[in-house]
Amino acid sequence: MEINKNVVVIDNPLIEHKLSIIRNKNTGTKEFREIIGEIACILCYHALSDAKLKEIEIETPICKTKVNILDEDNYAFVPILRAGTGMLNGLISMIPNAKIGHIGLYRNEETLEPTMYYYKMPKNISKKEVIILDPMLATGGSATDTIKMLKKDGVKKIKFLCIIAAPEGIERLQKEYPDVKIFTSCIDETLNEKGYIVPGLGDAGDRIFGTK
């Protein structure tokens, strides 16, 4: 379901089923981590629906033929540490030769705004299509800071993938960077006073890594 040209919600019964499992506070670390990766894989499938292919010739067991392939080197995945790395395996299974960058951000619990502590991107990042990964788009602070740094490095095409988004995060991201397309599996109701998505699924990083 495309809300507007820049926000795509993957409305699918299978995703809805999997979301019900990871929302449940009793779901264990292993299952939670696996489902995050599975949903990320589905989001990647939709995010690359506009991918450009190049034609090459190969030989099947029967004959020579022309086929279309993806230039995997044109893509870079950038998980926002630490929770974004939980989505990474799902995307790597789709495009194993994509390059990977990392950005580390932590949230100031008083202001709810992010502070960057790490930034490392692949060579020639400005020439690649970058897909940012973060399970939760809450206030939008981490997303906008990441995009700001990538644009400073000259990146022209950026997409943002998240498992769950809050209306506040979508609004901020669209206002500051209307050229960045958002792919999510669900838009929840709102944020609470601590900046967590409601009903959400709790702290995605803690649940992915079993740290709480």
**Residue 203 among the catalytic residues:** yes
Q: Which of 29, 111, 190, 211 is catalytic?
A: 111
Q: Apex CA 47: angle with CA 210 and CA 92, to 5°?
A: 50
Is the separation of the CB atoms in 83 and 164 below 8 Å? no
* Chain-centre distance for alpha carbon 192: 22
**Residue 206 among the catalytic residues:** yes
Alpha carbon distance 159, 130 (integer Å) = 6
Q: Which of 71, 190, 206, 211 is catalytic?
A: 206
Task: Tell me what percent of the chain is helix, strand and coil, each rounded to the nearest 5.
Answer: 35, 30, 35
Q: Which of 27, 73, 82, 107 is catalytic?
A: 107
Q: Tell me 96's DSSP state.
A: T
| Residue 75: closest CA among 92, 58, 90 | 92
Alpha carbon distance 199, 212 (integer Å) = 19
Active-site positions read 107, 111, 203, 206
